[in-house]
Structure 1
Amino acid sequence: MASSTSIPFFSYSQPTLPIFDGEHYDYWSSQMQTFFISQDLWELVEGGYEDLPENPNEAQQKLHKENKKKDALALRYIHAAVSKTIFPRLYGLKKSKEAWDTLKQGFLGNEKVVAVRLQNLWRDFDNLEMQKTENIQVYFSRVTEIVNQIRSLGDTLEEKRVVRKVLRSMTEKYNSATFIIEESKDLSTLTMHELMGSLESHDQKLKRNANTDQLVDQAFQSQLNISNKQYQGESEKRGGNQRGHQYGRGRGTQNFSRGRGQSRGRGRGQYQNYQQRSNNSCRICGKSNHQSSECYFKCKRCRNSNHSQKDCWHQNGNNTNEANFTANAEGEQLFLTCMDEQNKSSNLWFLDSGCSNHMTGNKDMFIKLDMGVANQVTLGDGKKANVEGRGVIVVNSKANNTKYIHDVLYVPNLTHNLLSVGQLVQRGYSTNFDNGECIVTDKKSGNILAKVKMADNKVFPLHMPQKKLALQANVMDESYLWHLRYGHLNQKGLQLLKQKDMVVRLPHIDRNIQVCEGCIYGKMHHLPFPKTSWRAKAPLELVHADIFGPTRNPSLQNKSIS
């Protein structure tokens, strides 16, 4: 039998009211409040009306009659807006305020319950983070739902605070868009609808660029297929009995021919060997319509396979350290356009306006490294490199001042140190590229931190010697460290937390936890306190033993204890 919880106990044709069945009271109450305001009944529902005094006059009687009639109408609307399972709670109530307060008390709770719900909602608001699988509309709907619940329970949540929270919680895919919005718009007046529109337009541009790249690849593949078909048609017209050219079986003087003569023989000719050769895929790009020696993506000048000859940087034969990274729209993914390694220097950093984060491959440079940060960067040839940490690096400036570089990514296979111009700007620094040099300035103090001259290969190398610090090594087992963090939790408990994904960045506990001294003391048998050999049995038998005095300084009343 179908459930009848959503069928109202009373039905009226006009007006159409939302039916409350015990769920989502905040949404239902908001709709009913709007309806009561439109009918000029909200003041009676919220505040009620006064009873008649002992000796009312005619005006008071008339006003009381009108209020009673309006209140009965409001009570009728409330009865019509609840289901059959909720109506027994309102049975016998004569005023709309009593019915409204009963529903509010039953489904919203008293002040303590509201305070607890608000605390949970504020915690959810603070922990908001956009998931990588979410799009803009889904994430904004989740944010709006939490914000509306907070406001419906009586707390004030300003629009600018919600906007700033959304900008902070977006995924790394939208880093460029959020940076532009923060720099170009006033966040104190920006609304959620305007922010959503800006981010959706950015998302559409990313999808359009991805579709364009896909169409270019398809067009290039189609052109190769057409060329192969044309070549196949010409070869078929020649016939199978024609004279072969270098590759046919017959008489000739070539190393791959058999017999005598000038490479003349019977066979299918050159196309058969071309077709057999095309079955082997290219080792550079993976396509099967050409060999590695004929690959478009292999430069014939420098013999590297990540660019073509027209885009080669080695025009003048200057093979120095050259690197240029640009951030992809899919979070922590980078494209390497050119990289030639000759001189490795851990003190040499390259300023890069396309790099999304500072990064280095030298683990010894970090004075603080969080190995829990894991991600991937994608190179221009499709290869991926792992990000295995993020930390702090200390360097020396030319004035022998100690400088700390924060949020530096550790990429083990990276052979160059990269300074992100965008991250420097975000930290409060300004960069000015002019007259063949880059000037890095602190916006707050106005001091010039570095002047980097452009090298011959049009890059900006910055020499920053590493600060040598005398540190004391104290290595603690990571499993034991998490054992202490969770109040001496056992190994199985830690493995269960990792298995259920209940703790962020909790590593896999795959070995036994070392012997814990605190756990041993906690499980040991404790002896009782020893009993005293003598105990006072009569008044004044025990003399107070806390002897105090004499004092050097007098008290406030100019008295001293001797």
Structure 2
Amino acid sequence: MGDTTPPPPPKGKENGPSSVHCPMLTAMNYTVWAMRMKVVLRVHKVWDTINSGVPDEDKNDMAMALLFQSIPETLIMQIGDQETVKAMWDSIKTRHLGAERVREARLQTLSVEFDNIKMNESNSIDNFAGKLSSIASKSASLGEVIDEARLVKKFLKSLPRSKYNQMVDSLQQVLDLNKTGFEDVVGRLRAYEERIREEKLQGGDQELNENITGRVKFGDGSFVQIKGKGSILFQGKSGDQDFLTEIYYIPELKNNIISIGQATESGCDIWMKHDLLTMYDENGRLLMKVKRSENRLFKIRMKIGAPVCLQSKIEDDAWRWHTRLGHINFELMKSMAKKDLVRGLPHVEHGNQLCESCLVGKQTRCSFPATSSF
């Protein structure tokens, strides 16, 4: 006898009831589980034994077998002695009514959080978008999906207007927010945020490293979070400019705090007598002179400096020579002019100022030591 080939399975058999899988009941998915199980029981033609309580021993056994496949073992031990599948179904429903109320309460809490969330000035686009996505994910896991159109509109509405007003208005006019994806909008705002940050760095407002984090502890035991470290260019009353380096960026503080210890470590000379504090830099220039306040703090209003654009100052002889001599500082230029070390070098009366090229090229540095220790 030759080899025999078994007949092919009946057409459509793989799509029959045996290929329908039962969902597993968990502590938080009762509503969705019940909807799916109704479909499974209808496919197997046994839902009427639960819905109407029709006595049918074969259907009752089939429905009970399906339920046993869709509930955890601990629950089987608790309700497995029920004689009818209807009694078993009702027992599962009763046990999970409390869980359903918990689910609804959590959804209500998430809804309030979603409606009230706003982006702070100190937050980044990625950070805020992550918070919104987290709320949306939690809501979806509880059975309520926040559609992308609602997510996009909430995202744009919650941005600080003082910082993103122009970009938000442009997106609202150009894009159809009902058809635009959430990630698309986040990507556009992220690119805009990066461009603004680069412009600030080039303008010398603040060379900030957001990778440095931590927290500062105060005397009362409270803490504030550090969001970065950088340098600030400030201008004195005489017009001189100087850097405060290694400055922590702490958005929660309403006022800036200068550490005297940190100032002395950077070479500053500090004098305190009676109710007066004076601070000099390592070259002997007066940085600040402050009178003590009633609460025993030394308060001063410091003006943030801005680097000079050479293109706008190129007609000035001093600035032109500053460029020719490789962006040396004006104190050195003043000394060179007095000693007639460079022919044609004009007399310099500028304060100690910095230009954009000095900042970008990182030409500002401490003087080389007179002697080497090794």
For the superposition of Structure 1 and Structure 2, which TM-score range results when normalised by the shorter chain?
0.3 to 0.5
TM-score by length of 2: 0.38
TM-score by length of 1: 0.28
